[in-house]
Copies of this chain bind each other. A is one copy, B any other.
Amino acid sequence: MTYCVALRLDQGLLFMSDTRTNAGVDNVSTFRKMFTWSVEGDRVITIMTAGNLATTQAVISLLNERSVVPADRKQTLLAAPTMFQVARLVGDTLKEIIHSQAEDGQNAESTFGATMIVGGQIKGMDPRLFLIYPEGNFIEASDETPFFQAGETKYGRPIILRAFDPAMSFEEAIKLLYVSFDSTLKANLAVGMPLDMHAYEADTFETGMQRRIPQDDPYFQSISTGWGEALRAAFMQLPDFTF
């Protein structure tokens, strides 16, 4: 499993993903699930992947290969004219890979399935964020739903629903995602540290702060411990039930 979240903030886009992949509980590895492409001054695109690792690696490799071959440049991440076209390109590539791996019908297609979150900004346009389904179609984040999650989404969702506000600073939003990841890590073995993060600041058209957060990151530890205590304190302070 996997846990990925992307937030569309007024300040820009914030991406965070874990790095655990597993087949069963004893075949556990660390793989990067966040990939960023940029052309300075023109565009920054980040993709996060959840699902079958063979599928997601093939999609990323194909997107990369196509970017370096000069023919038909329009069909690449680095030359697509809009973020909508970028999302379409990723969706089509994903569908193509799943379809080529699964020739035995629907069951196999769900085995090889994957979901992707694509976000970024191209010069002259606003930052945009998309969630791409295994079928290759996709939805875009809106003012009503300015974030997407993929993978093991449920444990970490309540705090995002309660506390997320697009007007947050990056500093607050990173704290929010740490809390959301911490709840997920505590409950599900298939999500694991280290985490990857990318904070893209709107209208800069260059890769923002990227960081790998290890298990022993002091700030993550302080959030994890502090959140447990803060939750218990918040809970205690609510009025008790009376019979």
Contacts and interface: CB of A to CB of B under 8 A. Distances in A.
Nearest to A243: B209
A179 interface: yes
A1 to B, nearest CB: 12
A174 B231 contact: no
A219 B241 contact: yes
A234 B230 contact: yes
Contacts of A183: 158
Nearest to A228: B162
Contact of A172 (B154, B158, B219, B240): B240
Majority DSSP secondary structure for residues of A touching B: helix
Interface residues of A, number: 40
A187 B179 CA distance: 17
Specify how many copies of this chain sit in the oligomer: 2
Nearest to A232: B163
A171 interface: yes
Contact of A233 (B174, B234, B240): B234
Contacts of A209: 243
Interface string A28-54: 000000000000000000000000000
Interface string A147-178: 00000001101110111000001111011101
A174 B240 CA distance: 8
A161 B183 CA distance: 9
Interface of A: 154-155, 157-159, 161-163, 169-172, 174-176, 178-179, 183, 186-187, 209, 219, 222-223, 226-228, 230-235, 237-243
7 contacts: A163-B231, A170-B241, A171-B240, A219-B239, A223-B238, A230-B234, A231-B231
Given A162-B232, A179-B238, A222-B238, 4 more contacts: A154-B187, A163-B232, A174-B241, A231-B234
